[in-house]
Amino acid sequence: MNIFTTKQALNQYLEQSRASGKTIGFVPTLGALHQGHLSLIRQAQQNSDEVVCSIFVNPSQFNDPKDLEKYPRTIEADIKLLEGVKCDVLFNPPVSEIYDGNEQWHLNIGELERLLEGKFRPGHYQGVTQVVYKLFNIVKPDVAFFGQKDYQQFLIISKMVESLNMPVKLVMCPIMRETDGLAMSSRNIHLTAEDRQHALILSKTLNWIKNNFDRNSLPQLKTQAEHMINDEPGLELDYFEIADGDTLHQATKDANSIVALVAAKVGKTRLIDNVLLVHGS
Which residues are tagged catalytic? Answer: 37
Q: What are phi and psi of 36, to 5 degrees?
A: -60, -45
Sheet containing 50-55: order of strands: 2-4, 89-91, 50-55, 24-29, 143-147, 169-173
Burial class (CB in 10 A: 0-12, 13-18, 19+), 221: buried
Q: What is the dihedral of CA 12, 18, 20, 24, to 10 degrees?
A: 110
Reported residue count of the chain is 281
Distance CA 36, CA 185 (A): 8
Q: Rounded to whole angstroms, how far apart are CA atoms 20 and 133?
A: 25
Distances in Å between the alpha carbon of 221 and those of 82, 207, 260, 275? 40, 12, 10, 13
DSSP codes joined into one string, 129-144: HHHHHHHHHHH--SEE
Rounded Cα gap, residues 82 and 65, in angstroms? 28
Whether the Cβ atoms of residue 247 and residue 113 lie closer than 8 Å to each other = no
Contacts of 144 (CB under 8 A, 6+ apart): 25, 26, 27, 28, 136, 168, 169, 170, 171
CB 41 within 8 A of CB 78: no
